[in-house]
């Protein structure tokens, strides 16, 4: 992956002010991309990463109309949209089905699943006009494969990554450490870039987990 491998590509990133989103934004900027970052948090990323190739838009991704507006704002700013990386997510309270409030369940589903649907629904028509694009999601295997099948003939690729475990599972990770955001970000750029131009809707997601699934049973995430 060369320094200018994403030169002039326009990348739309959710959750871009922290964690994986921030790490991916940094890597893309150094690779020549123009990045449109959305987040529910503040605009501090513009101070942290001052660049004419970075734009920020405040957005609650659980709101479908806000997602549509954000995609439109990206097109207005950069005139195109080549890559969509949906990585915004939240953790629901660790409670039983009986104890978990319905509002918390709905908020988690809207943020972690529905947001990717809303954004893809808004972004794909623009990608079709450009005769192609790339979509990368985090953990949304079936949604991503559906998009890959629906739009393969439109030149749109869709792939999914599975992030490594947190500290809770550290003792079970063969690599002996947790996954760094920058390591996942490099996988995102691979799936979004020309190096994976013939890769879409893969049966096995690109897993960055230090060997945990290999030890637990390849592809069997139920054993985690």
pTM score, whole prediction: 0.86
User: So what's the pLDDT on residue 224?
Assistant: 41
Highest mean pLDDT range out of 78-92, 156-170, 178-192, 194-208? Answer: 78-92
Strand order in the sheet with 83-86: 54-58, 34-39, 10-14, 83-86, 133-138, 156-162, 206-207
More confident residue, 221 or 147: 147
Query: Is pLDDT at 101 greater than 70 in this prediction?
Result: yes
> CA 119, CA 107: separation in Å to the nearest integer?
16
Q: Tens of pLDDT along 62-96?
A: 999 999 999 999 999 999 999 999 998 888 788 88
Give 34-64 pLDDT, tens digit per residue: 999 999 987 788 888 899 999 999 999 999 9
Greatest mean pLDDT range, 106-115, 116-125, 175-184: 116-125
**Domain boundary assignment for the chain:** 10-223
Q: State the first-to-last Cα distance of the chain, in angstroms, to the nearest integer.
A: 32
Contact between residue 89 and residue 62 where contact means Cβ atoms under 8 Å apart: no
pLDDT at 145 over 90: yes
Q: 3-state DSSP call for residue 207?
A: strand
Mean pLDDT of the chain: 86
Among 21-25, 146-150, 176-180, 205-209, the range scoring the smallest mean pLDDT is 205-209
* Number of neighbours of residue 224 by Cβ within 10 angstroms: 13
In CATH terms, the superfamily for domain 10-223 is NAD(P)-binding Rossmann-like Domain (3.40.50.720)
């Amino acid at each position: 992956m060369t320094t200018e491998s994403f030169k002039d590509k326009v990348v739309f990133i959710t959750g871009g002010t922290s964690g994986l989103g921030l790490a991916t934004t940094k890597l893309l900027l150094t690779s020549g991309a123009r990045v449109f970052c959305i987040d529910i948090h503040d605009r501090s990323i513009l101070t942290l990463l001052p660049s004419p190739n970075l734009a920020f838009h405040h957005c609650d991704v659980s709101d479908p109309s806000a997602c549509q507006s954000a995609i439109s704002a990206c097109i207005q700013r950069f005139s195109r949209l080549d890559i969509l990386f949906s990585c915004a997510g939240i953790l629901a309270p660790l409670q039983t089905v009986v104890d978990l409030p319905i509002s918390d369940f709905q908020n988690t589903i809207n943020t972690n699943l529905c947001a990717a649907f809303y954004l893809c629904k808004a972004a794909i028509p623009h990608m079709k006009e450009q005769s192609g694009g790339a979509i990368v999601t985090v953990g949304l295997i079936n949604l991503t494969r559906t998009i890959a099948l629906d739009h393969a003939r439109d030149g749109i690729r869709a792939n999914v990554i599975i992030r490594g475990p947190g500290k809770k599972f550290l003792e079970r990770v063969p690599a002996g450490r947790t996954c760094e955001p920058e390591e996942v970000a490099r996988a995102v750029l691979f799936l979004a870039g020309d190096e994976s131009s013939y890769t879409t809707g893969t049966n096995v997601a690109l897993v960055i987990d230090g060997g945990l699934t290999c030890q637990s049973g390849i592809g069997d995430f139920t054993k985690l």
